[in-house]
Amino acid sequence: MRNVTKDNITDVFLGYMSNETNPRMREVMSSLVRHLHDFARETQLTHEEWRTGIAFLEGCAAIETEDRHEFVLASDVLGLSSLVDMLHSSPESTSSSVLGPFHVSGAPPLAVGGDMKRHYGGPVLLAEGVVRDTDGNPISGATIDIWQTAPNGLYASQDQEQDTYSFHGLQTLGADGRYAFTTVKPVEYTVPSDGPVGDILRACGRHPWRPSHLHYIVEAEGFRPLVTEIFPDDDPYLDQDTVFGVRSDLVMTYVEKPASEFPEGMELSGKVEGTFLHVSFDVTLSAK
C-alpha cells in the first residue's frame, strides 16, 4: 500500500500477513496490533511519549538478568499476568493466583505435619487442609509445593542470608488428601521498585506492596495443576495487592489459639509459647 494513512494503517498491517500464517498467530497479532494502533489513535500518542515508552523497554532491558525479571514484573503490575491466569482458571476448582518470580523448583520433601519454620522466630502458623476433587472426595497422592517469604520479607532466591530452599517444602499427601505444616506467619513485602517498573508505580501514585501469603502449587495425576495463594483477612494490603493476586475464596481467617490447643503429631521443634495461629484451607482440583 503506497497510500498509508493513520486511518488505514491497521488494515495495511493485516494485509501484510501471508495466507500461510498460522491461524492462531494471525488471530493474536491482529488483535495485538489493532489494540496497539487504537491506543495510539485514542491518546494521540506524541513522539515524546513514544520515546518514553521505548526508553521504558530499554530501561527494563538494561537491568534484566536471570534473577531480575523486569518484563514479568511490568506484566504483573499492569494486571496482565493475573488476567491471563484468571482466563484459564477452572470455575470448579479453588481460584488460581499468580506464580510470581520467586518459586524455586526442587524443594526438599516436607512430611505431613512437618516444620518449615526451622530456627526462625516469629508467630507460629499451623496451616492444614484437605485436597479434594470437585465431588468433595479426597485425592490420594497429591503433592503441594509450598513457598513463602522469610520474616524479613525476602524469598530465599532474593536473600543471600537464606539457603536455596529456605521456606520451601514439597509435601506428598496420603489417601486422606490431608496436608499440614507449621511455619512462621508470612509477612507482606514489596516487589522490586528500584527499576523502570518502580518508576511507573510512583508516577501513578501506587505502592509496591503485596499482602502476605502462603504460595502453593498443588498437583495430582489426572487433575489440572493449581498455582494458588492463601491470604490472611487482616492484611493491610489485601485490597491493594500491587500484582492483583487476591481472589475472594483465597482470603482466610488466621485464628489465634492457645498453645494448649496445638495438635499432637506435628514436628514443630520446640514448644508453642502462649498462642499460635491456625488456618484451615481446603483445595479443590478440577479434573484434566
Footprint (CB under 8 A) of a copy of itself, residues 175-204: 200, 203-204
User: Under the criterion CB under 8 A, does residue 234 sit at the interface with a copy of itself?
Assistant: no
- Considering the complex, what minimum distance in angstroms separates the CB of residue 267 from a copy of itself? 33
Q: How many CA atoms lie within 13 A of 40 on its CB side?
A: 16
- 287 φ, ψ (degrees, to nearest 5): -65, 155
Among 82, 149, 193, 228, binds a copy of itself (CB under 8 A): 82
Only segment of 85-93, 112-120, 122-130, 143-151 that touches a copy of itself (CB under 8 A): 85-93
Query: Judged by CB, which is closer to a copy of itself: 180, or 243?
Result: 243
User: Under the criterion CB under 8 A, does residue 6 sit at the interface with a copy of itself?
Assistant: yes
User: Under the criterion CB under 8 A, does residue 83 sit at the interface with a copy of itself?
Assistant: yes
User: Under the criterion CB under 8 A, does residue 2 sit at the interface with a copy of itself?
Assistant: yes
- 60-65 contacts, C-beta under 8 A, 24 or more apart: 60/195, 60/196, 60/197, 63/195, 63/196
CA distance 266 to 136: 25
CA distance 234 to 239: 10
User: Under the criterion CB under 8 A, does residue 23 sit at the interface with a copy of itself?
Assistant: no
Contact (CB, 8 A) for 108 and 118: no
User: Under the criterion CB under 8 A, does residue 287 sit at the interface with a copy of itself?
Assistant: no
Query: Judged by CB, which is closer to a copy of itself: 17, or 104?
Result: 17
Sheet holding 251-252, edge to edge: 168-172, 143-147, 214-219, 226-232, 251-252
For residue 230, what are the β-bridge partners? 214
Among 109, 132, 165, 205, binds a copy of itself (CB under 8 A): 205
User: Under the criterion CB under 8 A, does residue 16 sit at the interface with a copy of itself?
Assistant: yes
Query: Judged by CB, which is closer to a copy of itself: 4, or 111?
Result: 4
Query: Judged by CB, which is closer to a copy of itself: 16, or 269?
Result: 16
CA angle, 249 then 255 then 260, to 5°: 145
Give me the residue label for grid cell 488505514: 8
